[in-house]
Amino acid sequence: MKPFFDKLLATKPGTLSTEEFEKETKKLFGSGEMMSEPIFYGDSGAYDFQYLELIPKRYFKDKTWLVKNRDLDIDKLPDDLKKLKTLSEKKHYPTEKSILDFNSYCKFALNSFCFEVNDFEQLQINNAKALVTHFASIPGKSNQKYTIPGEYNETEAKPIIKIKNGLFFIPIFFYLTESAYISPFYWMLEDDKYRDFSFKNKGEALEQIAYEYFVKVFGSYNVYRDVQIIRRKGESITDIDVLAVAGNKAVVVQAKSKQMTEKAKIGNEKAMRSDFKKAVQSSYDQAIESRKALLTKGAVFRVNGKNVLLKEPLDDAYIVCLSSENYPAVVNQVKTYLKKNKKDPYPLAFSVFDLDIISFYLTDVYQLLYYLRQRVNTAEYFNANGEIGYLAFHLRSKLFKDPNADRIAIDDSFAQLIDANFISLKGGYPKTKAVEKLYNKWANADFTNLINQVKQSHNPGLTDAILFLFDLSGNSADKVIELIKKTKESAVKDGKSHDFSMTFDNSKSGITYICSSDKNQDNNTKKLLSYCTLRKYKSKADLWIGLCSSTISKNLVDQIIFNKEPWKSSKKLRLLANKLLLGGKGISAEKV
């Protein structure tokens, strides 16, 4: 970092523009020396049980080759590895005889990580042979050319170590599950006749896995594979691997199975930039074109040659560049290596394992959309070493800018909250007190009920309305609910219509709520639209949500409208607002 600071010290104050400073910063942090640090010190990128879950899905189309050429039953392999792990864990418990003296204790310690031939007999017979043949290395004969971290490490690819007396030593079980997920692909590459099929199958498997994760959240009717978009008749077609849609929002997923090369892992900047271009940049460039096509008025969507009709025109789409393997330091590289137009949104670049975790915690489609939106909108504001750090911070306190901070660096301790929580809830590990530390303790059942009622309204614009409500801080949400309940109680009590309006963010956004005594829904809709239009104009706000309920309804909300048109001066609206919005009390609050 010394050359960077030397240049800053040699520069006269005020002469280095923001663009120049940004350029020098990216040059520094994009260097091989700086980028190799998050690669080397980064997390493992996946949990062992994630590898086991995805192995059969990844090699679904390669099963015949693996049986024929490696005697490996890929469907039964995860269960076999689980059996070995369970046996290994049992070996860790000492008996009285095993700790009588130092020698017996040393023998116990070694045997805790060792397996005999008969231990493999409980596995599927062919898999047992395959494990000790294709995943085993011999001390003194492996890693002959290994010199520095980042180079190919045979003890990771073949983590079962053969030692004397017919013992098989497995010091780190995680490496065995990782190798079971990664190594078969490289075996197939050695077969010249099958090589092209292996690449094709790997890409298709990743798309299918991504599709299944998004279906879990969005539902099968809102997720599409291999989407073609035609902007206008006769114009070019763009392709999307996976497209998920909710209301007027979409998620564009471009799946790439390119992994980081050995040269990049050891700090070669040229290799890093080349790998990033193939793994993320090309995926992003394609997704940007797809996004533009999606948001083009009159665009036609086709899946399997048939047109798809959406319920609402799309006004935003979030880009996900998905990898099939852990791509070290990818969030750091996006900030330094990505080439994009200033007005274009940032992508979210993460692995299928990150997607697994994100979809596990954000099971509601609007919660997931909100997270993606916040990640994109605050891409230059927050910094974390991995996607899980961002997710944990979001679950704790939302990804929203602090008015008292120019930028925020998210400490790795946030990701550790997910480490403690996820492995217990999904991985089957014992629960600890740390499990409860992940979530924010704030809760308001009425606010949750309000959100659910908005979802059930099925009104156009409900997606924007829900995202708007998610922006509210706990205190603001409590205040809104308090006012809604008081307003409704007053209307029910005297049989007259009551309302309130409230602004947020120094009047940049606001809300109007009406509890109407009129039983005619059309009249209530017109009244709500008029009130919101005038309140939004008078407040000079860009965003406004309108909620309405009837005195005879048990719901807090029966109708919603949402307006996000930027404020513009209008003589007509000014006169109407001054004439019709008489009296009343202004209420303001913080959003987040």
The pLDDT of 393-411, averaged and rounded, is: 91
Question: In whole angstroms, what is the distance from residue 516 CA to residue 495 CA?
Answer: 9
* Predicted local distance difference test score (pLDDT) of residue 355: 98
E-strand ranges in 43-104 read none
Contacts of 380 by beta carbon, 8 Å cutoff, 6+ apart:
335, 346, 407
Helix axes 32-41, 269-276, angle to 10 degrees: 70
For residue 81, the model assigns a pLDDT of 94
Q: Return the higher-pLDDT residue of 328 and 362.
A: 362
- CA dist list (Å): 583 to 574, 577, 579, 586: 16, 11, 10, 9
Give whole-number Cα distances, 269 to 49, 148, 254, 273, 334, in Å. 33, 16, 25, 6, 14
The whole-model pTM stands at 0.91
Under the banding of pLDDT at 50, 70 and 90, the label for residue 592 is very low
- pLDDT class for 437, splitting at 50, 70, 90? confident
**If we measure between CA atoms, which residue out of 483, 492, 487 comes closest to residue 510?**
483
SS3 50: helix
Dihedral sign from CA coordinates of 9, 10, 15, 17: negative
Checking if the pLDDT of 521 tops 60, the result is yes
Residue 94 pLDDT > 50: yes
Q: Is 545 helix (H, G, I), strand (E, B) or coil?
A: strand
Q: What is the mean pLDDT of residues 197-224?
A: 96
Q: Does 91 have pLDDT greater than 90?
A: no
Q: Which amino acid is at 187?
A: W
Q: At what angle do helices 571-580 and 521-539 cross, to 10 degrees?
A: 110
What average pLDDT does the segment 546-560 reach?
90
Q: What percent of the chain has pLDDT over 70?
A: 94
495 phi/psi in degrees, rounded to 5: 75, 15
What span, in angstroms and rounded, lies between the C-alpha atoms of 493 and 488? 8
- pLDDT for 459: 77
pLDDT digits (tens, 9 = 90+) for 114-140: 888 888 888 888 888 999 899 999 888
CB 214 within 8 A of CB 223: yes
* Max mean pLDDT range (201-215, 447-461, 491-505, 521-535): 201-215
How far apart CA 444 and CA 556 sit, in angstroms, is 14
154-200 confidence digits (pLDDT tens): 888 999 999 887 889 999 999 999 999 999 999 999 999 999 999 99
C-alpha to C-alpha distance for 591 and 59, rounded to whole angstroms: 47
User: What is the rounded average pLDDT for all residues in the chain?
Assistant: 88
Single-letter code of the amino acid located at 528:
L
pLDDT exceeds cutoff 90 at 22: no
Which region among 83-97, 132-146, 482-496 has the lowest average model confidence (pLDDT)?
83-97
Using alpha carbons, select from 576, 573, 506 the residue that is nearest to residue 542: 506
User: Has residue 96 got a pLDDT over 90?
Assistant: no
Residue-level pLDDT at 184: 96
Residue type, 376: V
Cβ burial, residue 88 (10 Å; 0-12/13-18/19+): middle
pLDDT at 458 over 60: yes
Domain-by-domain residue ranges, the chain? 2-30, 48-190, 199-377, 445-589
Q: How confident is the model at residue 89 (pLDDT cuts 50, 70, 90)?
A: confident
Q: What CATH architecture is 199-377?
A: 3-Layer(aba) Sandwich (3.40)
* Residue 366 one-letter amino acid: Y
SS3 447: helix
In this prediction, residues 428-434 reach a mean pLDDT of 76
The yes-or-no verdict on residue 417 having pLDDT over 80 is: yes
pLDDT of residue 106: 83
